[in-house]
Amino acid sequence: MSTTEDTEHNTNSLAVFHHVTLFTPYRYVFGVSRNITFLRRVSKHTLTDVSPRMESCPEQTPLFTFGVIADIQYADIDDGFNFTRTRRRYYRSSLQLLKNAIDCWRESTVKPEFILQLGDIIDGFNKNHDTSHRALDTVLTELSSGPAEVHHVWGNHEFYNFSRSELLRSRLNSTLHSEKSVNAAPADGEVYAYSFSPVPGFTFVILDGYDVSLLGREESSDRYRDSLSLIREHNDNDDLNCPVFKGLEERYTMFNGGFSKVQLDWLDSVLSSCDEKQDRVTVVCHLPVHPDSTTPICLAWNYDELLAVLRSHRCVVCFMAGHDHEGGYHKDEDTGTHHLTLEGVIETPPDSNAFATVSVYEDRMELRGYGRVRDRVFLFPWRPQEQHDECNDRFTD
């Protein structure tokens, strides 16, 4: 019987693994963690970046965990379809799927520190039925019965139901309600973006993907005018919700948006300070920003500018988004940053689920997916400073 042995990863982590591969569906891992040696049988897929089904690691307790859920889009109406009628939308049962997620988080042994709600919490149809406030109450009541505070991200459906000024005053503005101290972006409350640090050494940044957009901006405002001229440069359809079918240009629709220079500069400064502190940063937005993590019709307008900022900081380990209900994943080859687009609740059948619990360790995050969300392990990219600088030079040239 032949065996091969290798070291899985050895960053600044607490654990070092040595793998012994046998001709079985498993591999055997000798580990040393916190001065304890152990032998563990793991699936051959378990410790890769993308694993189909993760086995638990009972000998390690995570530093903390958090829950994540996207595109609930609740409305008390019968099932329907997406615009192209290719996928069913389960408006009413999305509430039950949210309850399933809350039950799971409530019953988990390690209670989540917080929940990330990735936007589109209720559907725009509520506006037509004059049920926006009732639907939001229903969903927020459910979320408040959970075991942890919720950080809300804003998506396009928030703006179909409420104006930006209503949202800023609402329970969906997590900067007003978080128990943890948050560092809000400047810009006189015009941008809904902030960072928080749930545990020393880890920072989460919530971004506003509709900062530059036709949604949520007064038609008389400069921002609306600038957004309109930008979208018009790329989309000549009368109906701006209708995309032009030219690859990445598809992203220029009215249900998307982008990031202002003020927000990009603020993000850059937050990430610089995280670089200095050697924090691990997860950036969160409704809109995906890596073209290989989503279909182009769901990308942020100036995804490239946002990516350039992320790529210029070694602290960024993960980017999480919703919006594309099919979900997606891509590891940025040059930086090792993981780009996750989480499957949407709204297009998940009632007998399935769509949420995840993320366990954070010194060297990785393990995402345990439920229903149609698959398990994944995100090893933290570790790059020596010189390699980081080289990589950065390639993007700034």
Ligand X SMILES: Nc1ccn([C@@H]2O[C@H](COP(=O)(O)OP(=O)(O)OC[C@H](O)CO)[C@@H](O)[C@H]2O)c(=O)n1
Q: How far is the CB of 171 from ligand X (least distance, A)?
A: 21
DSSP per-residue codes, 123-152: -THHHHTT-HHHHHHHHHHHHHTSSSEEEE
> Which one, 46 or 293, has the nearer CB to ligand X?
293
Please, which residue, 120 or 279, has the CB nearer to ligand X? 120
CB distance 301 to 230 below 8 Å: yes
- Closest approach, Cβ 232 to ligand X, in A, equals 17
Per the document, the length of the chain is: 397
Minimum CB distance to ligand X, residue 255 (Å): 4
Q: What are the contacts of 56-62 at 24+ separation with CB within 8 A? A: 57/366, 59/31, 59/33, 60/15, 60/33, 60/361, 61/110, 62/110, 62/359, 62/360, 62/361, 62/366
Residues 114-153 as x/- pattern, contact with ligand X by CB under 6 A:
------x---------------------------------
Q: Per rule CB under 6 A, is residue 83 in the interface with ligand X?
A: yes
- How far is residue 352 from each of residues 80, 102, 149, 305, measured CA to CA in Å? 17, 15, 25, 36
Residues 298-327 that bind ligand X (CB under 6 A): 298, 323
Residue type, 207: L
Q: CB of residue 122 vs ligand X: minimum separation in angstroms?
A: 11
Q: How far is the CB of 89 from ligand X (least distance, A)?
A: 8
Selected from 192, 255, 301, 319, the binder of ligand X by CB under 6 A is: 255
Query: What is the distance between the terminal CA atoms of the chain, rounded to a whole angstrom?
Result: 51
Q: Which of 10, 11, 61, 82 touches ligand X (CB under 6 A)?
A: 82
**Number of shown-chain residues binding ligand X (CB under 6 A):** 11
Residue 332 DSSP label: -
Of 217 and 364, CB closest to ligand X: 217
Cβ 73 to ligand X, closest distance in Å? 6
3-state SS assignment for residue 338: strand
Q: How far is the CB of 359 from ligand X (least distance, A)?
A: 29
Q: What x-and-dash track marks residues 226-245 binding ligand X by CB under 6 A?
A: ---------------xxx--
Distance (Å, whole) CA 325 – CA 41: 34
Interatomic CA distance for residues 107 and 115, integer angstroms: 14
Token representation of residue 252:
């220029």
Binding ligand X by CB under 6 A: which of 46, 156, 263, 337?
156
Positions that interact with ligand X (CB under 6 A): 82-83, 120, 156, 241-243, 255, 297-298, 323
